């Protein structure tokens, strides 16, 4: 039940049933009302209000600068549009690491002020206190392991994670820990397909991949990337389903042309 008082159709329980039945889960990011409405009409299972908004909406180089208030603004815009999909909101950098009390307060603000269904946060063992405390308040938590963009300054590179045995073992341990704590799902980002499949097989909860191969329980992409609105970002895992960037450019140029030529508005477009 959201703060708007409407139950959405896809719940964390539904996602678990989908995994149990071997039905794949679709997830895409959404940051605003209009896009979220289209995503929901299309029937996507989960809409992630990702902190990738910092990149694709605000133009920052990393996800670090986005604030809790900004995430709540994006999330509440999405929630107003969505009738069916589960809405999950990223907890932004600096609102949950190191202090589980602050983590709970941040998660409560997201749930109360946006009406979202769940939160997502990055990390394993190092954030387990925060995960536990948020869960204790009845807030569903989605984990995120592998290439965790909020740690980009520690990684120093966006290359594939967990290619070495030690990091792969740690990732499996972290995934099992998050499941044992009560997370309802985990995102695995940019890791070898074999490892993604191993985690999905070992864990009962749904594993959603982005660059984690086809052996996981569902897939997520950043909507602006899969629509071809962002043009310079081209990792191997990204499939573009449209070239909207080019179409938008042409539409803008066409409009400018029409205005300059005095062709817009025409007789039927004025009062
Ligand atoms: O912020 C985001 O868009 C994400 C996805 C890449 C999973 O976390």
pLDDT in tens, 192-231: 999 999 999 999 999 999 999 999 999 999 999 999 999 8
Same domain, 213 and 262: no
Q: Is 187 in the pocket of ligand 1 (CB under 6 A)?
A: yes
d(CA 68, CA 51): 10
Catalytic residue among 189, 198, 247, 267: 189
Atom nearest to 149 CA in ligand 1: 8
CB atoms within 10 A of CB 10: 21
Q: Considering the domain boundaries, does residue 124 fall inside one?
A: yes
Residue at 7 is within a domain: no
Where do runs of H (alpha helix) occur along the chain?
12-21, 33-42, 53-56, 68-81, 100-114, 128-136, 152-155, 165-181, 193-202, 223-226, 244-260
* 5 confidence band (pLDDT: 50, 70, 90): low
What are the tokens at 162? 């967990």
Do 141 and 228 reside in the same domain of the chain? yes
| Within-domain flag for 3 | no
Residue linked to tokens 């180089």: 61
Q: What is the mean pLDDT of the chain?
A: 97
155 and 212 share one domain = yes
Cα–Cα distance, 91 to 78 (Å, whole number): 15
Decide: 82 and 8 in contact? Cβ < 8 Å.
yes
pTM (whole model) above 0.95 = yes
Residues 117 and 213 in one domain: yes
- Residues 151, 122 within the same domain: yes
Residues 250 and 194 in one domain: no
Q: Is residue 32 part of a domain?
A: yes
Q: How confident is residue 171, by pLDDT bands cut at 50, 70 and 90? A: very high
Residues 198 and 256 in one domain: no
Indicate the length of the chain as a whole number. 271
Q: Do residues 221 and 271 share a domain?
A: no
Residues 161, 260, single domain; the answer is no
- On whether residue 271 sits in a domain, the answer given is yes
For ligand 1, is residue 90 a contact (CB within 6 Å)? yes
* Residue showing tokens 């109360």: 112
In this structure, what are the phi and psi dihedrals at residue 8, rounded to the nearest 5 degrees? Answer: -85, 160
d(CA 13, CA 216): 18
- Same domain (yes/no): 146, 269: no
Its domain, for residue 260, covers: 246-271
Q: Which phi and psi (to 5°) does residue 12 adopt?
A: -65, -35
- Is 266 contained in some domain? yes
Give just the sign of the alpha carbon dihedral 225, 230, 236, 240. Answer: positive
Residues forming a β-bridge with 207: 186
Q: What is the CATH number of the domain that holds 206?
A: 3.20.20.60
Is residue 54 one of the residues assigned to a domain? yes
Task: Please determine, for residue 144, whether its predicted confidence score (pLDDT) is greater than 60.
Answer: yes
Is residue 137 a part of any domain in this protein? yes
Q: Are residues 37 and 141 in the same domain?
A: yes
Across the range 19-24, mean pLDDT stands at: 98
CA of 263 to the centre of ligand 1 (A): 42
- 206 and 252 part of one domain: no
In the chain, the number of structural domains is 2
Q: Which residue is closest in CA terms to ligand 1's atom 4?
A: 50
């Amino acid at each position: 039940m959201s703060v708007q008082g409407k139950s959405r159709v896809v719940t964390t329980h539904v996602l678990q049933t989908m995994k149990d039945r071997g039905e794949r889960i679709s997830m895409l990011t959404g940051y605003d009302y209009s896009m979220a409405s289209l995503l929901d009409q299309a029937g996507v299972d989960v809409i992630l209000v990702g902190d990738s908004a910092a990149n694709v909406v605000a133009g920052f180089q990393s996800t670090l600068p986005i604030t809790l208030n900004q995430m709540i603004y994006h999330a509440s815009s999405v929630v107003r549009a969505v009738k069916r999909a589960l809405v999950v909101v990223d907890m932004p950098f600096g609102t949950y690491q190191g202090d589980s009390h602050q983590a709970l307060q941040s998660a409560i603000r997201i749930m109360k002020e946006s009406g979202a269904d769940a939160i997502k946060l990055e990390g394993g063992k190092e954030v387990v206190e925060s995960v536990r405390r948020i869960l204790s308040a009845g807030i569903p938590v989605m984990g995120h392991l592998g290439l965790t963009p909020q740690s980009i300054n520690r990684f120093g590179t966006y290359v594939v994670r967990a290619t070495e045995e030690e990091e792969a073992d740690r990732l499996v341990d972290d995934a099992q820990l998050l499941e044992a704590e009560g997370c309802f799902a985990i995102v695995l980002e940019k890791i070898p397909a074999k490892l993604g499949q191993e985690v999905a097989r070992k864990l009962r909860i749904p594993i959603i991949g982005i660059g984690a191969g086809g052996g996981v329980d569902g897939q997520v992409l950043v909507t602006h990337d899969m629509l071809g609105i962002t043009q310079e970002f081209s990792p191997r895992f990204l499939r573009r389903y449209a070239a909207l960037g080019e179409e938008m450019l042409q539409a803008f140029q066409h409009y400018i042309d029409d205005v300059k030529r005095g062709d817009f508005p025409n007789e039927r477009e004025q009062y």
